[in-house]
A and B are shown apart, each in its own frame.
Chain A
Amino acid sequence: MYRYIIKRLFLLIPVIIGVSFVVFFIMDIAPGDPAYMIASEEASIEEIEQIRHDLGLDRNLFLRYTSYLGGLLKGDLGVSYISKRDVFKTYMTRFPATLKLAFFSMIIAMIISIPLGIMSAVNHNTWKDSSSMVVALLGLSMPNFWLGLLLIIVFSLKLGLLPSGGDTSFFSIILPAITLGTGYTAHMTRTARSAMLDVIRQDYLRTARAKGVSEKKVVNKHALKNALIPIITVFGIQFSKVLGGAVLTETIFAWPGIGRLIVDSINQRDIPMVTGSIIMTTIFASVVIMMVDIVYAFVDPRIKAQYIKGGLK
């Protein structure tokens, strides 16, 4: 398993190089010049040219990219054009908030979606199934900004129970996590339902029932375990997505996450900040996906056997 992890980590290197090149290239062809964003409104053409020269923007894309790559190999993500601060440090000041939001929103999504999906599958084509799907559909239909504002109005403004925004206390995470988690609930409920439906009709469960095993045990012990793989997959994908930022939720709740950092940096043409943030997000997202792959092995012995068979002991 360790060899598998190391191999996966090594595979990150070409991914990072590819991602950094694509981001660099896109930022280069995007309309707008970082020098105009750095300079004052009153700046003369000479001053703009001086800024371009100082930043190396007057060199061609290839030279700039190789220079950036050189820094990257030394672990240097550069300095922000706008704030003049170290990109890595800036990213890491924002990452804990994003990680917290990702973690709690996923917890909320799981708390709601897994029981709902199981109930729906077990009671297939009954009113319980329909009700669960309506709840899932509601989660999917409610736009983040609307639900977020609604929660703020009720829990902050009217009841005065929770902070309306910012990452100012432990309780600040509750409303953003509910807002974001609700959106993911729908997808995860449907995944849990269809995974359970696939499993629940299989012969080995019929055998278990015939042997007199209680329905509760059949579902929770035998069916759910086999239905977990697609649920974990979706969880991993959603978690990685949130690590890249949840701009709407972050904006409504003034949550200091990565999403707003990247969007603001794109708007300001802050190339080092954008590239560095996306590289860091790629690394974290890849680690999450890798962890999901590892979890597969623990959930399903067949997958573990495949890893071992492939020499990845």
Chain B
Amino acid sequence: MKRSSLIKPVALLACIAGFSIMFAGCSDKKADETEVMKTGYKKEIVIANSTDITNLDPQGSNTAVNKRIFSLTHETLFRADAQSNISLGMLKDYSAVSDREYEMTLNEGILFSSGVECKASDVKFTFDRAFESSFTSKSVALVKSVTVVDEYTVNITLKEPSQEFMMTLTDETLSILSEAAFAENTAEASSIGTGPYVLEKWVPGDYISVVKNDKYWGQKPFTEKITFRLIGEGSSRVIALSTGEVDICLDPPPVELSYISDDEDLSLIQMSGSRMTYFAFNMKKDIMNNQLVRQAIAHAVDKDNLIIGALEGRGTAHNTTLNVGLLGYNDNIYPYDYNLEKAKSLLTQAGYPNGFDMILTVTGNERNTVAQILQAQLKLIGINISINSMESAAQKAMLNEGGHQAVIYSWSNANRTDYTARNLFYSGSGSNRMFFADPELDKLIDRALIEPNVEKRKQLYVDFQNFTLDKLSMIPLYTDILTVGANAKLKGVKYHQGAKHDFRYMYIEE
């Protein structure tokens, strides 16, 4: 081989690399300049997600990360704000024919992003489809029938009265879908909605971008394009915010928060979240089904230290079985103070004066740390915890099959009390990780759902919390604090306790 044949390509590549580095700065600056629109708003806002968007079907997922997209591309019949106040969404009007029958009329002229007008038949199609999905079947379980009255009016009849039905209709999983798009087998039919933005491109594991929907019937958004980029690594996410590559950084890691708060070009948004993390006992397992044992454990858990150790203080002790913000939420009724002597005495009464061994199942770093702290805390009363750290898929299978003894788990819902109570505690519910079953409690949940008087309903939910705290099939541990880092010039975002932030009318003035 000739000498030159080796040296030349190497030299060429070195030059390319060198020039790349030299010109990198210039190129980025140019890109920034083109982003400024004539209107004075930044053309594109980039949001860094910590987890990936998994699905573009509103009825195929109910995670906050996916719902943020659905709230941009789709709309619901009713809309709820961050304070759970309900207003009309796509509806022009609605009336209650009886306590279980509603007539709802759509606004005329609402177009799907495909250009087809949204009509009553699309509402019916959406509900019919919702019965088939595990993500929506619980929400529409009470719906007996949906009938098309005229082009824009539907009649929805329930099997039983439900005081939470309007709130249910605000959920993004019940976003109205285009029947025509599905009938024509359009690509990404589920992503066709009537929202202010329309899907531009989705590269799973990389980014998803939405652009302004020119056909939108409501108030037009200010920002031309919104891109959600997946940056799974926390430090990289914060650095991307600091360098201006992204405008919003969701879930910055606690150790990096000072970098955001110390930077005058950035703002740090902190608010109490609605995600409740709890210590669940499998009531079908020996020892765990002993109420005295569960009470002893509750008295031995020091939540404040747990929050400091596992979350660097970024959480608040949670003392009830409903999420923060739900109707009837009351955290002043928790009867288990931190008292090791009482815990030991309860364990002795339960027949375990020397403690016992138990297995605590967890998944993920945060819950693993929580488990380690609980392990140290319960050791003080003689309970030896073995931590069974599993990956999510394996853990889900184990939980569904009831193979666990105890688990650290979370539940997040900011506006549907019945949905939360029913899913967490109702006999036979899929997300009842405690396998708790009590007909008395089931009746209480059913009563609360149909009670028309708000104050009485609130009281029923307080009774529910007293009941479940007394039975103690789970120990509520903490509610985390939601954090968002953002460009200091960003305005118009409505932050949500359940992390379903409303980005529709955000903007950055240039």
Q: Which residues of A contact B (CB under 8 A)?
A: 30-34, 36-37, 39-45, 47-48, 51, 82-85, 90, 93-94, 97, 107-108, 110-111, 149, 152-153, 156-157, 159-171, 174, 217, 220-221, 224-225, 228, 251-254, 256, 260-261, 264, 267-269, 299
> B62 within 8 Å of A by Cβ?
yes
Give every chain A residue within 8 A of B205 (Cβ-Cβ): 94, 256, 260-261, 264
Closest 4 CB pairs of A and B: A32-B393, A256-B206, A43-B134, A31-B394
**Contact yes or no, B245 A171, CB < 8 A:** no
Does B239 interact with chain A (Cβ within 8 Å)?
A: yes
B233 CB contacts on chain A under 8 angstroms:
251-252, 254
Q: Find A174's partner among B1, B17, B240 (CB 8 Å cutoff).
A: B17
Contact B55–A160 (Cβ < 8 Å): no
Smallest CB gap from A260: residue in B? B205
A42, B430: Cβ atoms under 8 Å?
yes
Given the complex, which residues of A lie within 8 Å of B394, measured CB to CB?
30-32
- State the CA gap A261–B14 with chains docked (Å): 31
Given A47-B430, A166-B245, A169-B27, decide whether A82 and B54 contact each other with a Cβ distance below 8 A: yes
A176 to chain B, nearest CB (A): 11
Also in contact, A41 and B24, with CB within 8 A (given A83-B55, A157-B242, A166-B229): no
Closest to A149 in B: B235
What are 8 A-B interface contacts by the 8 Å CB criterion?
A32-B395, A40-B62, A40-B135, A83-B56, A97-B206, A160-B243, A165-B245, A171-B23
Residues of A within 8 A of B393 (CB): 30-34, 36-37, 267-269
The chain B residue with its CB closest to the CB of A156 is B243
Q: Which residue of A lies closest to B136 (CB)?
A: A40
User: What are the interface flags for B379-399 relative to A under an 8 Å C-beta threshold, 1 for contact and 0 otherwise?
Assistant: 000000000001111111110
The answer on a CB contact under 8 Å between A174 and B430 is no
Contact, CB under 8 Å: A156 / B204: no
Known: A36-B396, A160-B25, A171-B28. 15 other contacts (CB 8 A): A30-B393, A31-B398, A43-B430, A44-B428, A82-B55, A84-B55, A90-B204, A93-B206, A111-B13, A166-B245, A169-B27, A220-B3, A252-B233, A254-B236, A260-B205
Contact A45 B430 (CB under 8 A): yes
Contacts of A166 in B (CB 8 A): 206-207, 229, 231, 240, 245
Instruction: Take A156-B239, A167-B206, A256-B203 as given contacts and tell me if A84 and B60 are in contact as well, using a CB distance cutoff of 8 Å.
Output: yes
Q: Complex: how many Å from CA A30 to CA B205?
A: 23
CB closest chain-A residue, reference B398: A31
Q: A224, B54: Cβ atoms under 8 Å? A: no
Question: Which chain B residues border A167 with CB–CB below 8 Å?
Answer: 206
Please report the C-alpha to C-alpha distance between residue A44 and residue B10 in the assembled complex, in whole angstroms: 61
B310 within 8 A of A: no
| CB within 8 Å for A51 and B391 given contacts A36-B400, A164-B245 | no
Q: How far is the CA of A41 from the CA of B423 in the complex (A)?
A: 9
Q: Is the CB of B134 within 8 A of A165?
A: no
Instruction: Tell me which residues across on chain B come within 8 A of A85, comparing CB atoms.
Output: 204
Interface residues of B (CB under 8 A from A): 1-3, 6, 10, 13-14, 17, 20-21, 23-25, 27-28, 31, 52, 54-57, 60, 62, 133-135, 137-138, 203-207, 229-233, 235-236, 239-240, 242-243, 245, 390-398, 400, 423, 428-431
How far in angstroms is the closest Cβ of chain B from A149?
6
Beyond A41-B431, A267-B391, whether A83 also contacts B3 by CB under 8 A is no
**Bound-complex Cα distance A93 to B229 (A):** 15
Q: Which residues of A contact B57 (CB under 8 A)?
A: 84
Given that A31-B397, A93-B203, A251-B232 are known contacts, is A165 also in contact with B240, CB under 8 Å in the complex?
Answer: yes
Q: Which residues of A contact B229 (CB under 8 A)?
A: 166, 254
Known: A160-B25, A256-B203. A111 touches B430 (CB 8 A): no
Tell me if A164 and B236 are in contact (CB < 8 A).
yes
Give the CA-CA distance A224 to B13 in the complex, in Å.
20
Given contacts A83-B204, A166-B231, A171-B24, contact A252 B236 (CB under 8 A): yes
- Give every chain B residue within 8 A of A31 (Cβ-Cβ): 390, 393-394, 397-398
- The residues of B that contact A228 with a CB separation of less than 8 Å are 1
Within the complex, the shortest CB–CB distance from B167 to chain A, in Å, comes to: 16
Measured between C-beta atoms, what is the minimum distance from B368 to chain A in Å? 15
CB-defined contacts of A267 to chain B, threshold 8 Å = 391-393
B277: shortest Cβ distance to chain A, in Å? 14
Query: Please, which residues of chain A bring their CB within 8 A of the CB of B3?
Result: 217, 220-221
Cross-chain contact A170 with B20 (CB below 8 angstroms): yes
On chain A, the residues within 8 Å of B28 by CB distance are 160, 163, 169, 171
B173, closest chain A residue (CB): A40
Establish whether residues B240 and A164, one from each chain, have CB atoms under 8 Å apart when the complex forms: yes
Contact B6 A161 (CB under 8 A): no
In the bound assembly, the distance between CA atoms of A159 and B423 in angstroms comes to: 51
- Say whether A161 contacts B21, CB under 8 Å: yes
Q: How far is the CA of A228 from the CA of B205 in the complex (A)?
A: 38
Contact check: which of A30, A41, A107, A164 meets B243 at CB < 8 Å? A164
Contact at A47–B400, with CB atoms within 8 Å?
no
What is the minimal beta-carbon distance from A100 to any residue of chain B, in angstroms? 13
Given A165-B245, A171-B20, A224-B6 contact (CB < 8 Å)? yes
Which residues of chain A have C-beta atoms less than 8 A from B137's C-beta? 47
